[in-house]
């Protein structure tokens, strides 16, 4: 697997993701690329670009010709809601994990990699047409309930059949809102989530999804 080669060759530039989590994320993407289920790739919540850099390297290794889009406020975390209250206390506060867009761009330049299409703004401000169609791989790293809920809201109509969605912090006592939003979406839309490491993996099936526009599954 090219995933393992990349993890051995390149450094992880932040502490917000570890090698085990990256191996899962990249492994799922590589499975999509190897299967020929190639559309567009999105990452909602990119911080300084640690995961984005590895995604780009893997896409390059497979001569990926689709679009790669990333989304972030580049202004740190938004305020929490009641859905984000944790039994282990408040470990994250408004404005934390701030990483300017400039830092993200500089990290790509240092690595000599092509930039993805960058979208700056709060996830609550995103509209469906801000995302490309035919999304075959999506990584959600919004931390909080409302951010993950907004990620599903804008991404769901753009998903291809057999797309993969990975939600960061699905298993996290400090960030319970991510799992709450994910579990709500899977229950409402006839999907299943598979926990692995701290992540939740969804193998999307259009056949199990209730389409509000069409009024049927």
Per residue in 180-199, pLDDT tens? 999 999 999 999 999 999 99
Of 154, 144, 149, nearest in space to 186 by CA: 149
> What six digits make up the tokens of 156?
């769901």
Count of other CB atoms within 10 angstroms of residue 109 = 10
Q: What is the pLDDT of residues 140-193, one digit of tens each?
A: 999 999 999 999 999 999 999 999 999 999 999 999 999 999 999 999 999 999
d(CA 87, CA 14): 26
Q: Is the pLDDT of residue 88 over 80?
A: no
Task: Give the integer Cα–Cα distance in Å for 196 and 199.
Answer: 5
If residue 43 lies in a helix (H) or strand (E), which one and from where to where? Answer: strand 40-44
Q: Would you kindly state where each structural domain of the chain is located, as residue ranges?
A: 2-208
Terminal CA-to-CA distance of the chain, rounded, Å?
A: 36
Please give the model's pTM, rounded to 2 decimal places.
Answer: 0.93
Q: How far apart are CA 66 and CA 136, in angstroms?
A: 10
The DSSP call for residue 83 is G
Task: Provide the β-strand partners of residue 45.
Answer: none
Separation CA 210–CA 216 (nearest Å): 6
pLDDT tens, position by position, 112-130: 999 999 999 999 999 999 9
- The architecture of the domain spanning 2-208 is 3-Layer(aba) Sandwich (3.40)
């Amino acid at each position: 697997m090219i995933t393992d080669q990349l993890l051995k060759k390149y450094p992880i530039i932040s502490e917000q993701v570890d090698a085990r989590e990256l191996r899962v994320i990249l492994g799922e993407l590589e499975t999509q690329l190897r299967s020929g289920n190639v559309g567009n790739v999105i990452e909602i919540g990119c911080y300084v670009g640690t995961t984005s850099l590895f995604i780009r390297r893997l896409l390059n290794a497979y001569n990926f010709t689709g679009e790669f889009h990333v989304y972030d406020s580049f202004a740190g975390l938004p305020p929490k809601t009641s859905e984000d209250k944790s039994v282990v206390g408040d470990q994250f506060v408004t404005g934390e994990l701030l990483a300017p867009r400039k830092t993200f761009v500089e990290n790509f330049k240092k690595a000599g990699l092509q930039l993805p299409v960058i979208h700056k703004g709060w996830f609550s401000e995103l509209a469906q047409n801000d995302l490309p169609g035919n999304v075959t791989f999506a990584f959600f790293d919004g931390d909080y309930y409302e951010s993950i809920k907004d990620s599903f809201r804008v991404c769901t109509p753009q998903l291809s059949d057999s797309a993969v969605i990975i939600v960061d912090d699905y298993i996290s006592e400090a960030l319970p809102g991510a799992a709450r939003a994910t579990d709500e979406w899977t229950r409402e839309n006839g999907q299943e989530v598979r926990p692995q490491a701290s992540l939740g993996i969804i193998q999307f099936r259009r056949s199990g999804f209730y389409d509000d526009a069409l009024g049927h599954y």
